[in-house]
Amino acid sequence: MVTHIETELSNLKIDLNEMWDLVISQVKESRESLMNFDKEAANEILFKEKIVDVFELKLDRDCENIIALYNPVASDLRLTLAVIKIVLNLERIADFAKGIAKFIAKSPRESINPELLISAQVEELLTSALAMITDAKTALNNENSRMAISIFSKDSLIDQITRESNKIIGDYILKHPDEIDEALNIYTIIRKIERMGDHSNNIAEEIVFYLEAKVLRHNKAARK
């Protein structure tokens, strides 16, 4: 017989997956809108951000109700606590996608320097960030802690590409001082993508916490 808390946790996962899918689509669309400098797509991202916020508030409220009404213990409690933090990190990732879209939508330009986008590996960065977010969702749904832990190495790759890209942008500014504004805009976008990776890391930590009752935050040795 299915208990009330099992039903509530099942519904919680359904809503979490819907929010997760929306955030994944936001990141994917931010990549496409940036690479094509598509202002219409950017405005669509800005509109959908409001839906992400609605999901965040609903899921937070549902988690609070589960704790208050059912007093969950063990894995049920860990899942509820993990969802609260996962939702927070998903909302932040959506915020960074919105930041990229806002730059495109508000820009007076009709394009962005394709040479700099390519040399700074911006598309590769966004693709890697998207893979981290997608893998995290799969890891939770399949209850696969090994897959969650593998996300940390993907973040290391994003950090490495970011360091290389920062040097490329710095060199570009020295050679093209008249294009400093555009170069700095791309630098800002890269920082947003790097932060997406950081928040995906946080999500992976929460998945491991739920599945194995291990706290990996601030513990690099345990991550390995």
Round to whole Å and give the CA distance between 85 and 206. Answer: 7
> pLDDT tens for residues 49-71?
999 999 999 999 999 999 999 99
Q: Residue 219: what pLDDT? A: 58
Is residue 169 scored above 70 in pLDDT? Answer: yes
Is residue 121 scored above 80 in pLDDT? Answer: yes
Q: What is the largest CA-CA distance in the chain?
A: 70
Query: Which residue has tokens 């959506």?
Result: 94
Q: Is 94 left (phi over 0), alpha (psi -120 to 50) or beta?
A: alpha
Average pLDDT, the chain: 94
| pTM listed for this prediction | 0.94
Round to whole Å and give the CA distance between 92 and 86. Answer: 10
Tell me the CA distances in angstroms from 50 to 19, 47, 57, 137, 197, one per residue in order. 12, 6, 11, 21, 22
Round to whole Å and give the CA distance between 11 and 39. Answer: 36
Round to whole Å and give the CA distance between 19 and 24. Answer: 9
Q: Would you say the C-alpha torsion 42, 113, 130, 197 has a positive or negative sign?
A: negative
* Averaged pLDDT for residues 11-22: 98
Q: Residue 164: what pLDDT? A: 95
Which pair of tokens denotes residue 192? 């947003």
Q: Residue 218: what pLDDT? A: 58
What are the structural domain ranges in the chain? 4-223
CB-CB contact of 220 with 150 (8 Å)? no
Of 16-20, 141-145, 164-168, 213-217, where does mean pLDDT reach its minimum?
Answer: 213-217
> pLDDT tens for residues 31-46?
999 999 999 999 999 9
Round to whole Å and give the CA distance between 78 and 68. Answer: 14
> pLDDT tens for residues 132-141?
999 999 999 9
Q: Residue 109: what pLDDT? A: 79
Round to whole Å and give the CA distance between 44 and 212. Answer: 39
- Domain 4-223 indexed as CATH 1.20.1440.20: no
Round to whole Å and give the CA distance between 148 and 137. Answer: 9
pLDDT band at 165 (very low <50, low <70, confident <90, very high): very high
